[in-house]
Structure 1
Amino acid sequence: MTHRPVPSDTPMTGDATTTGDATSRRTVLRGAATAGMGALAAWADTGGARAAAASQRRIGAARIVTRHAGAYEVLALLDAHGTFPGKRRDWFPDASDADWARAERLDPAAFGPDDTWELDFRCYAVRRPGGRVTLVDTGIGPAGSPASAWAPVPGHLPAVLRHAGIDRHDVDTIVLTHLHEDHYGWTVDTAGTPLFPDARHVVQRAEITALTADDSARAYVVEPLRRAGLLRVIDGRTAVRGGPGGSSLTAVPTPGHTAGHQSVLVDGGRERIMITGDVLVHAVQLAAPSVAYRLESDQATARRTRLNLLADARDHGHLLATAHLNHAFVRP
């Protein structure tokens, strides 16, 4: 894993970080990661090497966390852990000191040295009776994947799946919450061959429609899945899988982070788990849901979505399953 602390003067223009354009997003992240390389030696001298070693141990010790919702087994799968490019306050400029203090109590592991943001890159497997599996997202992928410019590739997902007793042919459905490169990395290999050949891959039509011509998601994952006949495009709230006793997996539109972002409700009857994707990416958005993230494509919509999702989770007792907080499962 590579840690890349970034000086606070890393350029982040408003146009590049608030429009949500995929090219601008990649440019900002790549630029922030590159800007931090000169500081790496100094950071290592002040404890960075120890932190990196601890993070690697953490991946081995806590790579799978399991909860149940009725007949469903929900496994949080840690693909990677790393330091996000740049300073955390640059990505959430509206957060107050009180917001940050509450967030640190909720997720202390997110607070790295020198205002850095430590985060998990997590996928989920939902195992049904009989052993068939739905994956939610596929992580950062191998070296050479589109996330390689800024994320700690290679991810660990193939090994973590083996450790969980999941063969790739057990996976019959993959729900991609959205088409950012840290969420689809293990969908195909770098030659474009689907890694889960028996799985239909579920994406919202609005997500694909919003892709620009040069978005890496189009060439890297959408077109290979189309060619293989494995892409299932849906519109709106859609039942993905049914289960015993009226249990179900449902794709729920949660737009704002991207135009076609979706979450997955695992409804086991009395127990329900909402796999949130990037509706909230840092504990500061759990502490203060109105706080925007600079790389949300539509911050106003993302704010409404987050407030509604959290209110609904509180009203119905949903457990939240998060992609990037350092706790896989949290209560709203």
Structure 2
Amino acid sequence: MPLTHTVGSITVTALLDGAGPFFQPREEAFPGATDAQWREADRRDPDAVGPDGGWWLPFRAFALRAGDGPVTLVDAGIGPADALATSWAPVPGRLPAELTAAGIDPADVRTVVLTHLHSDHVGWAGPLFGNADHLVQRAELDALELFHPDLPARLLGPLRAAGRLRVLDGETRLTPGVRVLSTPGHTPGHQSVLVEHGEDRLLVTGDLLVHSIQLVDPSLPYAHEEDAPRARASRESTLRTLSPVLLATPHLPTPFTPHPAGGWGGKGEGAVGGSRPPLPG
């Protein structure tokens, strides 16, 4: 069964679409990291190190649901065999099977929040979730030249034609206890999703951070950020403002990671621990 964590009445389910080695050495992805920082990151997340010493990368989406109500899905994974991410990610993904294992019918997904438009976050968006509005920041749509050239024809155009593309401008409250936060930098319109109840907070991060080394030092830039200084400001300010917070991360080996480490006391399953997932298929 997929791992879950509960915040108030909302169950957050981590859905693993796939996993595999990153396409470049991790030292090139984080060129500013020191040996000491790598040692600490590996101590925290040994399963991020692949068999060849490279970066082992999971790809996840997250489902938010109160009781048996409608589902909000945050991100849509790497997708099927012909997905936009096929040139570099371990497609086909297995999100439909993960949804089934979690007891979620795709027809019950009424909202899909796309944290950003990189190909490994939009793979199953669109037809699989025919009842869902798909939420994207306006700043992201204004920067389409940064993304896969087939994205408008394959995804955005059909969503717009079906009336299923909802454009956001900054922070937006979705439901009681669930807010979209603007966290730009990785891409111009990057957004994250905050789930909160009283003092309990869980942040579905998208690519606000992509490796535990950015928890060791949040100032470290990632080579594939469009605007590294802005990404750093988003990461540092969000973590500082929300901490203590549980991070629900697409790409860390453990889907639910307390920040600061060991400093989150909420209830739930799967908050710490985990092991390297197998490749799909």
Compute the TM-score of the two structures, normalised by the length of structure 1: 0.75
1:253 aligns with 2:182: yes
Answer with 1 or 2: which has the greater Rg.
Answer: 1
Partner of residue 218, structure 1: 152
Residue 127 of structure 1: how far off its partner (Å): 0.8
Partner of residue 300, structure 1: 229
Q: Does 1 or 2 have the higher relative contact order (CA < 8 Å, sep 6+)?
A: 2
8 Å contact 1:250–1:266 — kept in the other structure? yes
Partner of residue 142, structure 2: 209
Give, in whole Å, the separation in 1 of the partners of 2:207 and 2:149.
19
Give, in whole Å, the separation in 2 of the partners of 1:328 and 1:79.
12
1:263 aligns with 2:195: no
Deviations 1:21-53 (A, max 9, x none): xxxxxxxxxxxxxxxxxxxxxxxxxxxxxxxxx
8 Å contact 1:88–1:115 — kept in the other structure? no
Partner of residue 309, structure 1: 238
Higher strand share: 2
Give the 5 Å matches for 1:30-41.
Answer: none
Partner of residue 96, structure 2: 158
Give the 5 Å matches for 1:156-195.
Answer: 156-188=94-126, 194-195=127-128
Give, in whole Å, the separation in 2 of the partners of 1:303 and 1:114.
29
Residue 86 of structure 1: how far off its partner (Å): 1.5
Structure 1 runs not aligned, ≥5 long: 1-62, 189-193, 243-247
Give, in whole Å, the separation in 1 of the partners of 2:94 and 2:139.
30
Partner of residue 5, structure 2: 67
1:236 aligns with 2:170: yes
Give the 5 Å matches for 1:82-97.
Answer: 82-97=20-35
Give, in whole Å, the separation in 2 of the partners of 1:215 and 1:209.
14
Partner of residue 322, structure 1: 249
Compute the TM-score of the two structures, normalised by the length of structure 2: 0.89
Correspondent of 1:120 among 54, 58, 65: 58
C-alpha root-mean-square deviation of aligned residues, in Å?
A: 1.3
Residue 228 of structure 1: how far off its partner (Å): 1.1
Higher helix share: 1
Correspondent of 1:273 among 202, 210, 223: 202
8 Å contact 1:204–1:261 — kept in the other structure? yes
Percent of aligned pairs with the same residue?
Answer: 51
Structure 2 runs not aligned, ≥5 long: 260-281
Deviations 1:125-167 (A, max 9, x none): 0011333110000100000111000000000100000111100
Give, in whole Å, the separation in 2 of the partners of 1:313 and 1:79.
28
Deviations 1:160-217 (A, max 9, x none): 00111100111111100000000000013xxxxx211111111100001111186332
1:286 aligns with 2:215: yes
Residue 286 of structure 1: how far off its partner (Å): 1.1
Correspondent of 2:130 among 192, 197, 207: 197
